[in-house]
Structure 1
Amino acid sequence: MFLSLEGIDGSGKSTQATRLADTLRAAGHDVVQTREPGGAPGAEEIRRLLVEGDPERWSPETETLLFNAARRDHLERTIRPALEAGKIVITDRFADSTRVYQGATRGDLRGFADAIHKAAIGVEPDLTLILDMDPAAALTRGLARSSGEDRFEEFGLPFQQALRAGFLSLADEFPARCHIIDAGRDADAIAADIRALVLDRLT
Structure 2
Amino acid sequence: MSRSPGARRGRARLRAVALIGIDGSGKTTQAHRLADALTAAGRPATYHRNAGGRRWLGRLAHRLGRPDAQRLVGRSGMLAVESVLRWLAIALALISCLATGRVAVMDRYSACQYASIRAHGGQRWERLARAGYRMFPRPQLTFLLTVDPAEAYRRIEQRGTDHESMRYLTAADTAYRTLPEYPTFVVVDAGRPPEEVSRQIQAHLAGWLGSSADGRDGRLTDGRDGRAPDGRDVRSAVVPGPPGGEPVPIGRLSA
Fold conserved (TM > 0.5)? yes
Aligned residue identity for 1:98:
Q
Count of residue pairs the alignment pairs up: 187
Equivalent of 1:130 in 141, 144, 167:
144
Aligned residue identity for 1:37:
A
The CA deviation string for residues 43-83 of structure 1, in whole angstroms up to 9 with x for no partner, is xxx56643433322233322232123213322343322313
Cα offset, 1:25, TM superposition: 0.9
Equivalent of 1:2 in 4, 12, 16:
16
1:131–1:120 distance in 2 versus 1, CA, 3 Å: closer
Question: Would you say the 8 A contact 1:68–1:120 is kept in 2?
Answer: no
Question: Greater CA radius of gyration, 1 or 2?
Answer: 2
Distance 1:79 1:96 in 2: 16
Equivalent of 2:107 in 63, 72, 92:
92
Equivalent of 2:191 in 162, 181, 184:
184
Distance 1:106 1:189 in 2: 31
Q: Match of 1:117, SS?
A: helix
Cα offset, 1:115, TM superposition: 2.5
Is 2:183 the counterpart of 1:175?
A: yes
Equivalent of 1:142 in 156, 173, 177:
156
Aligned residue identity for 2:188:
I
The CA deviation string for residues 154-185 of structure 1, in whole angstroms up to 9 with x for no partner, is xx112211111111223x64423x11100111
Equivalent of 1:25 in 36, 39, 44:
39
Distance 1:50 1:126 in 2: 31
Is 2:84 the counterpart of 1:69?
A: yes
Gaps of 5+ in 1: 39-45
Q: Match of 2:129, SS?
A: helix
Query: Aligned residue for 1:165?
Result: 174
Give the RMSD, CA atoms, in angstroms.
2.2
Matched-pair identity in %? 28
Distance 2:57 2:47 in 1: 21
TM-score (normalizing by structure 1): 0.81
Distance 1:48 1:164 in 2: 18
Q: Match of 2:168, SS?
A: helix
Distance 2:107 2:88 in 1: 15
Aligned residue identity for 2:94:
I
Gaps of 5+ in 2: 1-14, 62-66, 211-255
4+ residue stretches of structure 1 with deviation over 3 A?
46-51
Question: Would you say the 8 A contact 1:72–1:121 is kept in 2?
Answer: no
Q: Match of 1:59, SS?
A: helix
TM-score (normalizing by structure 2): 0.66
